[in-house]
Amino acid sequence: MKRNYSYPVYGTQGGGLVREVGGTFIFVTKPDCPGLDVGDEMPEEWGIVAANKLAQEETIKEEFGM
């Protein structure tokens, strides 16, 4: 079952989904990396990619300074 989020979510290079909370990316689904779980902070060196429409819109706003 696919979940719809009411906030921007991003996929990470280590698996799982994150959302931004106060400038920090926090897991909303469990990543594939042992030792990390929902609610944990994503490692800073990991990359992210927009995983829903709201995140895509945020990315566009940031890129174009809107």
pTM: 0.90
User: What is the separation, in whole angstroms, between the first and last Cα of the chain?
Assistant: 34
The count of other CB atoms within 10 Å of the CB of residue 29 is 16
- Measure the CA–CA gap between 3 and 1, rounded to whole angstroms: 6
Task: Give residue 37's identity as a one-letter amino acid code.
Answer: D
- Sign for the CA dihedral angle at 37, 40, 43, 49 comes to positive
Per-residue pLDDT of the chain (66 residues; tens, 9 = 90+): 578 999 999 999 999 999 999 999 999 999 999 999 999 999 999 999 999 999 999 989 888 876
